[in-house]
Structure 1
Amino acid sequence: MEGLAALPEVWWLYFASVRAATFRNWPFTEGCACMPERMAAAGFVHCPSENSPDVAQCFFCLKELEGWEPEDDPLAAACGSLGAAAFSFIFSFLLPFFGEEHKKHSADCGFLSLQKEPASLTVQEFLKLDKMRMRTALVRTRASKVSQKMTKVEDKAKIERCSIKNL
């Protein structure tokens, strides 16, 4: 995509083509509803692990979904019977109404509430949207750090309890 290198790397995932490129080893490629192009159009990136080859994460709200089945469609189930031009139209303009699998698990995702392509947003609209994305990422990071601290405190408390019992 022309001009992509001029943008900050954190914004690259706003482009469906960049998200689609993450699905290199995606287990569902042909004859499936959850093909890479559809996953990318719904806002997902592929982030597999050794034990879970089908983990996909929304680049915006960071919600991870796994356990995909070939018939799981991140867009509307009705999209499969449409022609290529209509399907392309849905990808481009109607995603907020058709991100069914995504909506089911993350109804308040800002990406799903878009009424137009990210490339068509004004600078003000885009910055407001990206601020929402960054806020979500920050909250998730904080929650993760708090959880890690709590685990450390609980582990230390166990050790101290054992020490007290052994007195």
Structure 2
Amino acid sequence: MDLIPDLSNAYKLQLSMFLEENRLESFKKWVFDDDQPCNAAKMAEAGFYSTATKSDPDLVQCFLCSKPLDGWDAKDNPWEEHLSHSKTCTFAKLKLPEEELTCVQFAAIRKEQLQNVYKKHFADLIQDRKDAWDEFCASIEEVAKMK
């Protein structure tokens, strides 16, 4: 049985980024070297995973609050930047690497992540159904005009 039923790959990717090691893996082509403050390990530690594109090579997203950020400088502190752009992010407010989280904090963050992802998923599904309904109604109106 699939524990994440009917979710798109984008949602599954976001859920997989809960663990720091998975986030770090996403930074294979990070724009800054390991000796810089804004290195891949610090980015992953601060909750980010890379969503970089050719046109936006330093685009990242938080696994919990989903905040996308780009325009990084080599001297940026990922924790400080995260909190300054997403003041309500539970993970950023803790300022704790994964290995320093208590079991209770770890579980609470995972619960929040699941809630956030499923809220977004269901909101998208509802919008899709509304769009389909609007399309259906418009086609009915077109048929009615033909008569």
Task: With the length of structure 1 as denominator, give the TM-score of the two structures.
Answer: 0.62
Who is 2:77 aligned against? Answer: 75
The corresponding residue for 2:19 is: 14
* CA distance in 2 between partners of 1:160 and 1:50 (Å): 43
**Aligned 1:17-166 pairs, distance under 5 A:** 17-26=21-30, 28-30=31-33, 34-48=38-52, 53-65=57-69, 68-71=70-73, 75=77, 95=79, 98=80, 100=81, 102-166=82-146
Equivalent residue of 2:92, what SS? Answer: coil
Determine what percentage of the aligned residue pairs are the same residue: 23
Distance 2:56 2:96 in 1: 33
Q: 1:74 to 1:147 in 2, by over 3 A?
A: farther
3-state SS of paired residue (1:113):
helix
Choose 144-153 or 42-51, whichever is displaced more. Answer: 42-51
Tell me, which stretches of 5 or more residues in structure 1 are unaligned? Answer: 1-9, 77-94
TM-score by length of 2: 0.68
Amino acid in structure 2 at the alignment position of 1:116: L
CA change 1:36–1:124 in 2 (3 A) is: closer
The 3 A distance-change label for structure 1 pair 140 and 37 is same
Gaps of 5+ in 2: 1-14
Higher relative contact order (CA 8 A, sep 6+): 2
AA partner of residue 146 (structure 2): N
**Distance change in 2, residues 1:114/1:14 (3 Å):** farther
Q: CA 1:143–1:105 in 2, change beyond 3 Å: closer, same or farther? A: farther
Counterpart residue identity of residue 24, structure 1: K
Helix, strand or coil at the partner of 1:13: coil
8 Å contact kept, 1:42–1:74: no
Task: Classify 1:42/1:117 alpha carbon distance in 2 versus 1 (closer, same or farther; 3 Å).
Answer: closer
The answer to whether the Cα contact below 8 Å between 1:32 and 1:70 also exists between their aligned partners in 2 is no
